[in-house]
Amino acid sequence: KFDRAALARYGLPAGAAAETLQTALVGGVVGHVFEGQVTFPLVVRYSDAGKDLEAIRRMPVETPSGVRVPLSAVANVYEDRGPNYISRENVQRKIVVMCNVAGRDLRSVIDDVRSHIRDEVTFPAGYRVEYGGQFESEASASRRLLWLGIAAIVGILLILTTALKSFRDSLIIMLNLPLALIGGVAGVFLSGGVMSVASLIGFITLFGIATRNGIMMVSHIKHLMEEEGVSDFREAVLRGAEERLAPILMTALAAGLALIPVALGTGKPGSEIQAPMAIVILSGLLSSTALNMVVIPAIYFRFGRARG
């Protein structure tokens, strides 16, 4: 620790003394040595620097007048513990504690760490804990996908209402979303219960496929009544469900067969994103396709009849 009064007596700036000390202990690059195609830095420092406290105390420091004085004349040299470097973020000091997670999902581990720190650790004034890294990025991406998913659902509802000219029919079609959600959640649970960003992307994709199946069903029922002259509402619903069965099953089967190899690739390199997404879509297709052929016709027969 430099003695400001002693430095002033010798007319020695603290910065110059610190630079001398750094050159003596750490070294300073004064040039480069070329050996073939390789360049080596030429570093100069005191030969006995850092060996013991007495050697450091005897270290000569040159003053502006050319007089050399020992370091002990302008500084208090003692041994103490301290950080080897100080990192800052937003002009505040920080200490980074890092760890890797294995065998569990990242969110549950962070929740446990937060709980233990909140219950068992008391921080001095001015100290706080922030959780960052991959967890922070994943949380931000999850929030963004959640809002995008909500916006997509609202957009689909508005488009359906405009196309079908019936808000009631649009709501009936949107009932396919919880039917798909059942299978998607079951797939996440059976595959380990980890809800990742890839799984959320799978849910958004699944909702689009499920909505399309509902559109195929309801629009064909309306077509039978309005274009083909089927006057009996019950007959129109039954025919619509029967005639749309093959197209819906073919679409689901084609998508499912394409996703099976991807879903079975869990644990292989590069499958961290593809496999969870494929599992969600595949499981949701199974539930939405099966329930779509029963639930949507029944609900449309109960609530979709045009009121005169």
Distance CA 274, CA 189 (A): 17
Measured from the Cβ of residue 40, the count of other Cβ atoms closer than 10 Å reads: 10
- Could you count the other beta carbons within 10 Å of the beta carbon of residue 300? 25
Nearest CA among 147, 54, 128, 135 for reference residue 98: 135
Evaluate if residue 308 carries a pLDDT over 50. Answer: no
What are the pLDDT digits (tens) for 276-291? Answer: 888 888 888 888 888 8
Rounded to whole angstroms, how far apart are CA atoms 135 and 106? Answer: 7
Per-residue confidence (pLDDT) for residue 96, from 0 to 100: 83
d(CA 138, CA 66): 60
pLDDT (average), residues 134-151 = 81
Specify the pLDDT at position 267: 67
Average pLDDT, the chain: 83
Domains of the chain: 4-73 (3.30.2090.10), 137-303 (1.20.1640.10)
Is the pTM value of this prediction over 0.75? no
Contact 67, 51 (CB under 8 A): no
Count Cα atoms within 13 angstroms, Cβ side, for 44.
5
pLDDT score at 50 = 56
pLDDT at 51: 65
pLDDT of 66 higher than 50: yes
**Confidence band (pLDDT; 50, 70, 90) for 305?**
low
pLDDT band at 234 (very low <50, low <70, confident <90, very high): confident
- Identify which of 226, 230, 254 has the alpha carbon closest to the alpha carbon of residue 242: 230
Rounded to 5 degrees, φ, ψ at 38 are -105, 140
DSSP, collapsed to helix, strand or coil, labels residue 230 as coil
pLDDT tens column, 4-45: 888 888 888 888 888 888 888 878 888 888 888 888 888 887
* Widest CA span in the chain: 112
Residue 121 in 3-state DSSP? coil
Helix (H, G, I), strand (E, B) or coil at 35: strand
Residue 307: pLDDT over 50: no
Question: Strand 28-35 and strand 60-62: pairing?
Answer: unpaired
* Lowest-pLDDT choice from 1-10, 200-209, 259-268: 259-268
Q: What is the pLDDT of residue 208?
A: 84
pLDDT tens per residue across span 154-184: 888 888 888 878 888 888 888 888 888 888 8
Per-residue pLDDT at 144 exceeds 70: yes
State yes or no: pLDDT of 254 exceeds 60.
Answer: yes
Q: What whole-number distance in Å separates Cα of residue 308 and Cα of residue 303? A: 13
